Structure 1
């Protein structure tokens, strides 16, 4: 599962930018454009075999979780538009696939809503020509020229999905907070105030059916960026098991086995994403995120004081992975959903 191409690999391109991404000297748009320009963003689009794009995201996240995370968001926006009505596909599909148009996935609230854990925060007002208002608590890739894919409740109470540009009238991009890491992903909150969503901006009028089709890809590609960053930390930890590091050999072996198991399941499930039972998808996503957090902690422990320096790669991975337990679906949500299958 690698994205080897002629010349530099995608991973090598991202590696050269990782430090600047972490320091806020650049953002992830160039990484998205690089992957899109190589024709990799649309790999397997529309099918159930997503091994190639999972490999790309894993390779990118191994060098920078920020870039891997933004790439996941871009691919998900592409997945949504691929399943949209003809007018939305014709207008945006090629631009998203090339990386020329950056996509925002704001679908977390929909997945949470359909799990029975909350209401849709965006609502259309039929008395106001169906204009949409409400908050989006968190989204990434939010640049002024981005395309936002979002769920909302129609005037009839049914869930829908629409698209709108971030610079459209009524869309407010809130000031981005200072984050522990991942600042280059342009992650922030938004608010809609009477945003027009015409018929030709509608992705689907059947939110439950739509989310059922995209959720396997959503979770598996999130798993890919978890295994990517975890793999780098496992490898770095494995190089530091001499001297005092020998005290951690058992912990390292267990962690290495967990990472190998997650990667093996990822390869298996991405071969036919829609054939994987939901509980297995949830369990893998949870296992991969927990493994990434534990792997970056072990790497940091074995690196010692040098890994505490702010701009050290070890420190960066530790800070990046700290986001995974709260990234939607959060560790709490995943655990709750798994409990429903017990």
Structure 2
């Protein structure tokens, strides 16, 4: 990338970060949702950064900077990019139909692949059952949790067949037979439209089957999946440490040691994140798991420290400190959860 291109990208990221920052409080209050943010990021050409290439550091930086202003948007951007990642690896007919729509943010993408990664780790069966028909499949069962779920969204999901097959397919959220549950009240991230869905004999044409080799497909997308999740952990951590670091005086001086410890953990996380993103193919799979777990742990620690140092003002629900504290509480339970990541790491020992 030339110096001029680098400046352009940095300027675009700065402009998007400002846009997200100005909307963060309204998103947290539930006065709007993430579709406007995704469309703005897509219009700037930032959703597709690094697509189809070996280097993801630019896309990592986009998610990182967005999440520093709003984890809600950073999280939804990750989901959007993953849906695009899947479609970019799909047969040409699906790329022609959906790639540009997802890259632009005009169509919102839902990644419902968490169940596949959990299944391939040996921690559960795929909940959706597909039956072959003359012209494709019909699918029945639940998606227990997904985000970016709007009636016009595009869902990429895994399913199993009675004969032991495992596939990935694509469907619109408003397709006949799909029921979207009302979004529950959440501690934070309500604007991501996260909820559960039920499929009841949903017809999927053969052209919308992305792959029938689920293990191979997940093996190719998992590094991106975990790197971009770690990116939004990095962003919220950086924002909390900046606020905490400005308050290490007076009584706050008592927390200098704790701050330095969390800061060192963050510096290690960020160095590995960008090094891995520069050449994901050179990184052993276990290191992506360890990175994602470390990202969750350091984000929770940083937001707790910020809240402690901010004091009563940070306890007010309208404060950015309070919002980050609530947003980070989701990270240990987001799939892959902290429990799953710890279990996976134990299998390498």
Pick the aligned partner of 2:121 from 115, 118, 124: 115
Aligned-partner SS, 1:17: helix
Identify the residue that residue 233 of structure 2 maps to in structure 1: 226
Which residue is equivalent to 1:94?
100
- Separation in structure 2 between the aligned mates of residue 275 and residue 158 of structure 1, nearest angstrom: 30
Post-superposition shift, 1:178?
Answer: 0.1
Q: Measure, in 2, the Cα distance between the counterparts of 1:305 and 1:281.
A: 37
- TM-score by length of structure 2 reads 0.96
- The question of 1:67 aligning with 2:73 is answered yes
Distance 1:6 1:84, change over 3 A: closer
Equivalence for 1:36: 42
Compute the RMSD of aligned alpha carbons.
1.4
Task: Show structure 1 runs of 5+ residues with no match.
Answer: none
* 1:315 pairs with 2:322: yes
Report which stretch shifted further, 145-154 or 7-16: 7-16
Alignment match of 1:236 (pick from 236, 243, 248): 243
Aligned partner of 1:160 in structure 2 is 167
- The Cα offsets for residues 20-42 of structure 1, whole Å up to 9 and x where unpaired, read as 00000000111111111011111
SS at match of 1:181: coil
Moved more, 2-11 or 317-326: 2-11
Q: What TM-score, normalized by structure 1, do the two folds share?
A: 0.98
Once the two structures are TM-superposed, the CA of residue 158 in structure 1 deviates from its matched residue by 1.0
Q: SS of the residue aligned with 2:287?
A: helix
- Residues 123-142 of structure 1 mapped to structure 2, 5 A cutoff: 123-126=129-132, 130-142=137-149
Distance 1:152 1:178 in 2: 28
In 1, distance between residues paired with 2:210 and 2:85?
A: 11
- Is the counterpart of residue 11 in structure 1 residue 30 in structure 2? no
- Cα distance in structure 2, aligned partners of 1:14 and 1:102: 17
Going from structure 1 to structure 2, the CA distance change for 1:114 and 1:7 (only over 3 Å counts) comes to closer
* Partner residue in 2 for 1:144: 151
Would you say the 8 A contact 2:64–2:231 is kept in 1? yes
Larger mean CA deviation between 1-10 and 296-305 belongs to: 1-10
Match of 1:197, SS state, is strand
Q: Quote the Cα distance in structure 2 between the aligned partners of 1:188 and 1:106.
A: 11
Give me the whole-angstrom Cα distance separating, in 1, the residues matched to 2:288 and 2:224. 9
Report matched runs for 1:162-311 at 5 Å. 162-311=169-318
What displacement does 1:155 show?
Answer: 4.0
Q: Is the 8 A contact 2:13 2:62 kept in 1?
A: no
- Mapped to 2, the partners of 1:7 and 1:188 lie a distance apart of 29
CA offset digits 1:278-325 (Å, max 9, x no partner): 111111110011000000000000000110001100000000000000
Q: How many equivalent residue pairs?
A: 342
Cα distance in 1 for residues equivalent to 2:13 and 2:225: 30
Larger deviation, residues 304-313 vs 151-160 = 151-160
Q: How many Å apart are 1:6 and its aligned residue?
A: 5.4
Supply the distance in 2 between the matched residues of 1:335 and 1:48 (Cα, whole angstroms).
28
